[in-house]
Amino acid sequence: MTGLSLDHQKCTGCELCSLACSTRFEPRGFNRRMSAIRLRVVGIMDADVPVTCMQCEDAPCAAACPEGAFYWVPSTGALAIDAEKCTQCGNCIPACPYGTIYLHQDRPVPIKCDLCDGNPLCVSYCVPGAITLSPVATWPEQLRTDYFQVLKATGGSGK
């Protein structure tokens, strides 16, 4: 199972990941609120934390979907949403423990990271190298512990 590795210690908070990601959902231009990866800042300057879907094996979002619209894409290992099946009930959004599924008024389907067909745009725009394509299980232990701690501090740990 693959996913994105997020090193908040390398992140500068530039949001180019968000801006680039939004071009996959918005053909007309750029929109940080129409993006599957977003920046959370701790305090005024204490940490810049990029957050996106962890592609959980036992995904709570998929479990919360009454339509069974979530499916695994074999080629990328990403958990995706089938637009045909999605009824926009919104159950998946609070179900995500990291708060990384989003609704936008101009989109028919919730916005969630699907790893861009295996070659994520955010990775290619991340100049400081904070985002890499590798599963959460392979993160260095310390990074993982720290990361989820800051995630919690920014109010994104759900329950």
Partner 1 sequence: MSDGYAGKILTVNLTSGTSRSVETSAELKSHFLGGCGFGAKLLYDTVPAKADPLGPENAVVLTTGPVTGTLLPSSAMTAATTKSPLTGTFFRSVMGGVFGSELKQAGFDALLITGASSAPVYLLIDDGTVEVKPADTLWGADTFATQLRLKEHLGSAEFQVAAIGPAGEKLVRYAAIISGTRALGRGGLGAVLGAKKLKAIAVRGSQTVAVNNPAAVIANGRSLMEKLAANPQSAKAFPTYGSTASPASYSAAGLFGTRNWQTEVFEGAEAISAEANAKLGKHVRTRACSSCVIRSSHIWRAGEGPYAGLYNEGPEYETLWSLGAMCGNSSFDAVLAAERLCDEYGIDTISAGVCIGFGMECFEKGLITARETGGVDLRYGNADAVVRMIHQIGRREGFGDWLAEGTREMARRIGGASADFAMHAKGLEFAGHSARAIKSMAVGYATSNRGGSHQDTRPAPERSGKFGTGFDGKAKLAKECQDMTTIGDASVFCRRLTECGYGSFLNHEIAETLSLVTGQTYTVESLREISERIYAMEKLFNAREGFRREADTLPKRFLTEPIPEGPRQGSVIPPEELTRMLDEYYELRGWDKATSLPTRQTLNRLGLGLYAPAAA
- In the complex, the residues that contact partner 1 under the rule CB under 8 A are 9, 12-16, 19-20, 22-23, 26-34, 40-41, 43-45, 48, 104-106, 127-128, 154-155
DSSP string, 111-137: B---GGGGS-HHHHH-TT--EEE--GG
CB of 151 to partner 1, least distance (A): 13
Nearer to partner 1, 24 or 55 (CB): 24
First to last CA, the chain: 24
Nearer to partner 1, 48 or 114 (CB): 48
Q: Give the SS3 label for residue 153.
A: helix
For residues 62 and 9, give the distance between their C-alpha atoms in angstroms, rounded to a whole number.
Answer: 30
* Nearest-5° Cα angle at 125, 18 to 20: 35
CB of 105 to partner 1, least distance (A): 7
CB of 8 to partner 1, least distance (A): 10
Number of neighbouring beta carbons within 10 Å of residue 148: 17
Nearer to partner 1, 60 or 128 (CB): 128
Nearer to partner 1, 40 or 70 (CB): 40
